[in-house]
Amino acid sequence: MEQQKGGIYRYGMVIDLDKCTGCGTCMIACAAENNVSVRPDQTDKERTITWMKLYKITNGKEFPHTEVSYFPRPCMHCDEDGRGHHQPSCVSVCVATATKIDHNTGIVSQIYTRCIGCRYCQAACPYGARYFNWWDTYFPKGKGLERYLSPEISPRMRGVVEKCTFCHHRLMRAKTQAYAEDRTDIEEHEYTTACAEACPAQAITFGDLNNPEHKVSQLIKSPYAFRLLERLNTKPKVYYLSTKDWVRKMADNYLPGEFKPVTKVTG
């Protein structure tokens, strides 16, 4: 397919934590969309696979001042490795070039059939967004789960690493549709992730961060916008919004006096 008009895209996500209720629909939608394998017993949280993981955080105060917020955490699809090199830390360390960043879309992909399962990428990722297949793929038979498997997504074999792909197959689908209709570009609504589509509170917005007309590129200009562990300079393409100072503060590490609360909001 020819290069789309507009050239370089930078797909990204904005998650409004003030809207997130912690319902977990994004996790379920992600797992169902991407044929994420399950275990008969999912309680071993160190070894289960959750491309989209939901963290619950609190402000640590006693009742009645307790506040709770939820942090959905997909792969951050980082642009850099933290030292200014234009590839994420997981990509630069991968021994067999099994994970790559597409500089035309900004999406960090995982090539399952090339991954040797050394897990160096997991060690490199500070967000814990990469998951190793400790067991053979398993979808409980007789419970109908196998009927939900998507033919667009290859299931992963034991011994390889997998992670969120920003539902890359949906981008492929949208591009194919555009090509069939003799279009060179795809519209904002044509490509979105399963988690963004499923969120009942519409807390997740997805789009091209480089396109000023896309909602995400406007949302990230908010004074309440921030990224997870921004000081590590990995340049994630997942942004968060929260009007709560304590939530924004909890997204990164600060030495005393370093955190600056949002004081003036215009527009």
Partner 1 sequence: MDSPLLPEGVKRCSTTTFLFWTLPWLALLAWGGLSAFLCLWKGLNQTNMSNVFAFALWIVFDLAIIALGAGAFFTGFLTYIIGKGELKNVINAAVIIGFICYSGAMGMLGIDIGQPIRGWFIFWHANIHSMLVEVSFCITCYLMVLGIEFIPLILRNRQLDKIRGLHIFGHSLHEIMAVFAATGTFLSFFHQGSLGGMFGVLYARPFAARDGFYIWPWTFFLFILSAIAAGPCFTILCTKLTEKITRKKLVPDNAIQLLAKISAWLLSIYLVLKIADTLGWIYGVVPRAGLKFIDFYREGPYGIWLVVCEIVIFGIIPAIILLIPKARRHQGWLITACLLNCTGIVLNRFVFIIVTLAIPVMPFDRFWSYLPTWQEWGIAMAVIGYGFLLFSTAYRYLPVFPQERELNPATE
Subset of residues 234 to 253 that bind partner 1, contact rule: CB under 8 A:
234, 250-253
> Which of 100, 215 has the CB closer to partner 1?
100
> Which of 48, 211 has the CB closer to partner 1?
48
> Which of 16, 81 has the CB closer to partner 1?
81
Site for partner 1 contains 254 (CB under 8 A): yes
- Number of residues forming the site for partner 1 (CB under 8 A): 57
Return d(Cα 85, Cα 261) in angstroms, integer. Answer: 30
Query: Among residues 19, 24, 134, 139, which is the contact residue for partner 1, using CB under 8 A?
Result: 134
Cis peptide bond N-terminal to 256, omega within 30: no
| C-beta neighbour count of 122 within 10 angstroms | 16
- What is the full DSSP assignment across 46-97? TTS--SSEEEEEE--PPTTS--EEEEEE-----S--SSS-SS-HHHHH-TTS
**Lookup: tokens for 200:** 């009942």
Return d(Cα 132, Cα 119) in angstroms, integer. Answer: 7
x/- binding map, residues 74-113, to partner 1, per CB under 8 A? -------xxx-x-x-x--xxxxxxx---------------
- Termini Cα distance of the chain: 41
Query: Which residues pair with residue 15 across a beta bridge?
Result: 204, 240
| C-beta neighbour count of 89 within 10 angstroms | 21
Site for partner 1 contains 220 (CB under 8 A): no
Site for partner 1 contains 70 (CB under 8 A): no
Query: Among residues 67, 146, 187, 258, which is the contact residue for partner 1, using CB under 8 A?
Result: 258
> Which of 130, 168 has the CB closer to partner 1?
130
Q: How far is CA 197 from CA 57, 133, 205, 207, in A?
A: 24, 27, 8, 12
Query: Among residues 6, 128, 140, 200, which is the contact residue for partner 1, using CB under 8 A?
Result: 128
> Which of 9, 70 has the CB closer to partner 1?
70
> Which of 71, 166 has the CB closer to partner 1?
71
Cα 125 vs. chain centroid, distance in angstroms? 13
Find the shortest distance in angstroms from Cβ 41 to partner 1.
12
Find the shortest distance in angstroms from Cβ 256 to partner 1.
9
Query: Among residues 124, 164, 195, 209, which is the contact residue for partner 1, using CB under 8 A?
Result: 124
Q: How far is CA 130 from CA 26, 50, 90, 221, 263, in A?
A: 17, 9, 9, 28, 36
Query: Which residues pair with residue 226 across a beta bridge?
Result: 240
Query: Among residues 13, 15, 52, 115, which is the contact residue for partner 1, using CB under 8 A?
Result: 115
| C-beta neighbour count of 50 within 10 angstroms | 19
Query: Among residues 46, 62, 181, 213, which is the contact residue for partner 1, using CB under 8 A?
Result: 46
**Contacts to partner 1 by CB under 8 A:** 46-47, 55, 57, 71, 81-83, 85, 87, 89, 92-98, 114-120, 122-128, 130-136, 157-161, 228-229, 231-234, 250-255, 258
